[in-house]
Amino acid sequence: MASSCYETDRHCRRVASLARSVAEDMGADRVICESLESAALEHQNFRLSRLRKNHFVLPGTAGMILHRFADGTNDFGAAIESAAAILRACDALDESAEFAAYEAQQLTAAIRDFMADAGQWPHEVESALRHLVPPAIQIAPGEKLPVLPSAASALLRLQSETVSAAELAGVAEQDPVFAKRLLGLANSATFGPPNEIRSIRDAVLRIGVPLAHKALVAASIGPLFASAKLRAIWRHSQEIAAIAHELAPQCGCHPHEGWLAGLLHDIGLLIFASQSAADCSREEAWRHAGFPRVYTETIVWGVDHATAGADLLAKWNVPSDLVEAVRYHAAPELSDSPLAALLYIANAIDRQVMDAGEGGEPEPLASRFRLATALSVTNLPASVVESFSRESQIFAIAC
């Protein structure tokens, strides 16, 4: 019951934000906008009270909107009728988004299908909805897409099982940033006895070839996330990579593949970060209103970062299993990829340690259903989300 109430509250808050935005786009006056928002916040309680034949009172204009929303017979005038139509439309839009996961449908497809039927609403409401939700992908043309650094491309081609310490040392010695990264790790408390390491080759040997390879791959991709607003995303990506690396053997995945999938899973956010400041601000405003990231991206750009990122990785000729994992990491119910499911679980684990009151992301739609699906695909126990340990050395390179 608590879970159901929580989901209902999130739905009502999203509907309230959608409804107010549509009303403001239509030029409704302030009283109607505020009353519509209040009505939206209570519309599910109102439905429940009518179902149970309880007495529900919301005074003033908001109460009148709710009565018209529920197809009451009272005539409250054109403004109330219009507000009730907005509430019905926004309620239906959010329900389409919510139920997409349970119907194994991509969110973009669910919203596209909803918009295809938008003609059922009054013309002014339909127009405002179409202004709110883009009819097609709005992503920048191909020449603005990020380019994979040549060093990263070369390192990704090296097999972590067969690459030698000498090969990695040779790569690191050609780049001061790489050299500094390996020496810093080798002399950190995690890896070292007190004696200082000054040789790159000795650094690789102290860290170990597999971890040194990962550190160099991360150091080569990290500059793509150099801006201030992308640094937090990069730290998160490295954290997810480390979690996926540790859990991969338990679900039949190779640890290095799990790590690499985690490192690349949010690469699509680079594309959105290069969009217009106005669109970026609009996307951020929706998230601050309580909309999950994938939902806001679909509203603003017509595509989510998982899809955009997978398409970018395909252009970079990244192996297809990694592309699929990135494409479905936010919707594991749409794929039988254990890597995609592993990424969803890793993100769920990471959310456990984030303070939602201080910049934490709103919880994804259908999160409990999706987590259960991901656990089923990977055969991991539900307890892994609560009891995961971060003591492995792999977390030392996530910085």
pLDDT at 352: 82
pLDDT tens, 89-118?
999 999 999 999 999 999 999 999 999 999
Q: pTM for this one?
A: 0.91
Is 80 exceeded by the pLDDT of residue 375?
yes
Compute φ and ψ for 318, nearest 5 degrees.
-70, 145
Is 70 exceeded by the pLDDT of residue 2?
no
pLDDT at 356: 42
pLDDT at 378: 97
Please, what is the Cα angle at 213 between 211 and 219, to 5 degrees?
Answer: 100
Using pLDDT thresholds of 50, 70 and 90, give the confidence band for residue 391. confident
Q: Could you tell me which of 84, 155, 174, 163 has the C-alpha nearest to residue 121?
A: 84
Is 70 exceeded by the pLDDT of residue 392?
yes
In angstroms, the CA 246 to CA 380 distance is: 12
Is 60 exceeded by the pLDDT of residue 390?
yes
In angstroms, the CA 240 to CA 354 distance is: 13
In angstroms, the CA 75 to CA 232 distance is: 52
Is 60 exceeded by the pLDDT of residue 43?
yes
In angstroms, the CA 270 to CA 261 distance is: 16
Least confident of 59-63, 87-91, 144-148, 260-264: 59-63
- The set of residues, in sequence order, having a beta carbon less than 8 Å from that of 81 and lying 6+ positions away, is 68
Segment 37-63 shows an average pLDDT of 74
User: What are the structural domains, with CATH classification, of the chain?
Assistant: 2-132 (no CATH), 220-397 (1.10.3210.10)
Using pLDDT thresholds of 50, 70 and 90, give the confidence band for residue 3. low
Least confident of 7-16, 134-143, 247-256, 380-389: 134-143
The residue written with tokens 């992503």 in the block is 139
